[in-house]
Chain A
Amino acid sequence: MDDATAVAQARAGDSEAFRLLVERHSRALFKLAYRMTGNEHDAEDVVQEAFLKAYRSLDRFEERSQVSSWLYRIASNCAFDVLRRRQRRDNPTDSLDVEDAPELAAATPGPHRLALGGDVRRSLEAALETMSARERAAFVLRHFEGRSVKEIELALGLDTTAVKQSVCRAVRKARQVLRPLAGTVS
């Protein structure tokens, strides 16, 4: 059974058809959720939440859309919610409208030190940690997932300017950490 048929049958109340979609797409959504949240447990929750939302919004699925893209959008949005909640929890005084989180400051030398140590993976992780929820979500979707600005707008519910700004700020932060390594890593 293809995805579109499975959605149609699930809409008609066939839970087995929905099970098929869950079994088919869970791994891809987990990978996306993990890249966005950087945390295994959060990624598990995102997958669960995404399918719950998908199930509740089966009626809103547009038949001309790809089911995988629809699920992808829902999961991206759930992961974005997790990042925003984390940002609120870790920095309760931050306004979520102020997305221009400080660039890597001298007070946070960790990423630099790691970069000089040649550990690209850990440096990148550290850079991702310095990004705001919006920056991280936009960067992961644009850079790792290869999604266009238009697609990111739809997934995160942001406008073009906000997405572009977020990607650019995130790149500045990533670049600050990775630049010293460019040319030294083959």
Chain B
Amino acid sequence: MSHVSEDDLVLLHYREDAGEDAGAHVASCEECAARLRALAETLSLATAPDAPERGDDYGAQVWARLRPQLGLPEPGLESPKVVPFRRPLWPRAAAFAALAAALVLAFLLGRRFPAEPQPLSAEVRERVLLVAVGEHLERSQMVLIELANAPAGEVMNVSAQRTVADELVSSGRLYREAAVRSGDPALAAVLEELERVLVEVAAGPEALQPADLEKLQQRIESRGLLFKVRVVGTQVRERETERLPRPLTTS
């Protein structure tokens, strides 16, 4: 038999099936045995990279981020969450978001139960969705900007951002679902990416330590998230404008 191929040596090294004769050949061929030893010696240098340490509470942190994504209520809340009155950052936007979420729900219900009487035409519902998503992206953008521009090396009080993020997570999920249903995967993908950061903010502490703030900023920056949100926001606004009723002309 001719000497064993490099690939078969690799498979033999990992004790995988390399064909019937390969193992027998190496056992009787000093040259191939030496090649196998050399391979093992080289590969012994390839040790697993050290993963950054995660503390004992890491699982709890993952769970805190995961819980809203699974649609589970906050711990200790038996009924759906009632958000107490707080000083809103953007009162008009907050009120609009609530209205928009209700309208989007109507949009989804309309899709789900098409046999029911439709109070709104498909065109109007689509425009409502676009307006709602546009508003959602604008508010999200403001949260991202505040976080991204926060001074490094200082503890940041993010209670206001947490409140807004918490509201945006719920409405964002509805919009994402609507985007998927209306066949807009690009928008759905950005909303999903955005949701992850918002969930992290909403589930995080009120006082963000410098290291955590830096991580969050890196995360926003490394994904170009702010840019993506701006681009998608602009596209949504353009689509929204396109669907505005044409003004009547007299000529």
Which A residues lie at the B interface, using CB under 8 A? 15, 18-19, 22-27, 30-31, 34-35, 38, 40-41, 43, 45, 47-48, 51-52, 55, 120-121, 124-125, 142-145, 148-149, 164-165, 167-168, 171-172, 174-175, 178-179, 181-183, 185
The residue that A40 contacts in the complex, of B16, B52, B196, with Cβ under 8 A, is B52
Q: Do the beta carbons of B69 and A120 come within 8 Å of each other? A: no
Closest 5 CB pairs of A and B: A23-B59, A34-B51, A144-B48, A26-B59, A168-B7
In the complex, whether B43 has a CB less than 8 A from a CB of chain A is yes
Whole-angstrom distance between the Cβ of B148 and the nearest chain A Cβ:
15
A48 touches B46 (CB 8 A): no
Tell me whether A181 and B45 are in contact (CB under 8 A): yes
Contact of A121 among B7, B17, B49 (CB under 8 A): B49
The CA-CA distance from A178 to B43 in the complex, in Å, is 8
Please name the residue on chain A nearest to B45 by beta carbon: A178
B45 and A120 contacting across the interface, CB-CB below 8 Å: yes
A31 to B54, alpha carbons, bound, how many Å? 9
Query: Which of B6, B46, B61, B65 touches A143 (beta carbons < 8 Å)?
Result: B46
CA distance A175 to B13 in the complex (A): 13
Tell me if B219 and A168 are in contact (CB < 8 A): no
Smallest Cβ-Cβ distance to A147: which chain B residue: B14
**A48 and B6 in contact, given A31-B51, A41-B219 (Cβ under 8 angstroms):** no
Q: Evaluate contact between A48 and B69: CB separation under 8 angstroms.
A: yes
Q: Is the CB of B45 within 8 A of A38?
A: no
CB pair B62–A51 under 8 Å, yes or no, is: yes
Query: Cβ of A41: which chain B residues have Cβ within 8 Å of it?
Result: 218-219, 222-223
Q: Please determine whether A30 and B58 come into contact, CB atoms closer than 8 angstroms.
A: yes
Complex alpha-carbon distance, A40 and B58, angstroms: 14
A55–B38 CA distance with the chains assembled, in angstroms: 45
Chain A residues near B196 (CB-CB < 8 A): 45, 48
CA distance A15 to B7 in the complex (A): 47
Interface string of B68-81 (1 = CB under 8 A from A): 01101000000000
A167 to B15: give the CA distance in the assembly, Å.
Answer: 13
User: A30 near B45 (CB under 8 angstroms)?
Assistant: no
Q: B41-57, CB under 8 A of A: which get 1 and which 0?
A: 11101111101101000
Interface of A is mostly: helix
Q: Which residues of B contact A25 (CB under 8 A)?
A: 59
A182 touches B60 (CB 8 A): no
Are B6 and A172 in contact (CB-based, < 8 A)?
yes
Cβ-defined contact, A185 with B49, below 8 A: no
Among A27, A51, A121, the residue within 8 A (CB) of B58 is: A27
The distance in angstroms between the C-alpha atoms of A144 and B46, with both chains bound, is 8
Contact in complex: B43, A171 (CB < 8 Å) = yes
B227 at the binding interface (Cβ < 8 Å): no
Of A22, A23, A35, A174, which is within 8 A of B43 by CB? A174
In the complex, what distance in Å separates the CA atom of A27 from the CA atom of B7?
Answer: 34
Contact of A43 among B14, B51, B61 (CB under 8 A): B51
Please give, as numbers and ranges, the residues of chain B lying within 8 Å of A125 by CB-CB distance: 49
A–B complex contacts, Cβ < 8 Å, 11 sampled: A30-B58, A34-B51, A52-B66, A124-B47, A143-B43, A149-B14, A164-B11, A167-B10, A167-B11, A168-B11, A171-B43
Find out whether the CB atom of A34 lies under 8 angstroms from the CB atom of B49: yes
Note all chain B residues with C-beta closer than 8 A to A22: 59, 62-63, 66
A175 / chain B contacts, CB cutoff of 8 Å: 39, 42-43
Is B218's CB under 8 angstroms from A26's CB? no
Q: How far is the CA of A174 from the CA of B44 in the complex (A)?
A: 11
Known: A26-B59, A40-B52. A182 touches B38 (CB 8 A): yes
Given A30-B51, A48-B196, A55 and B43 contact (CB-CB distance below 8 Å): no
Q: How far is the CB of A163 from chain B (nearest CB, A)?
A: 9
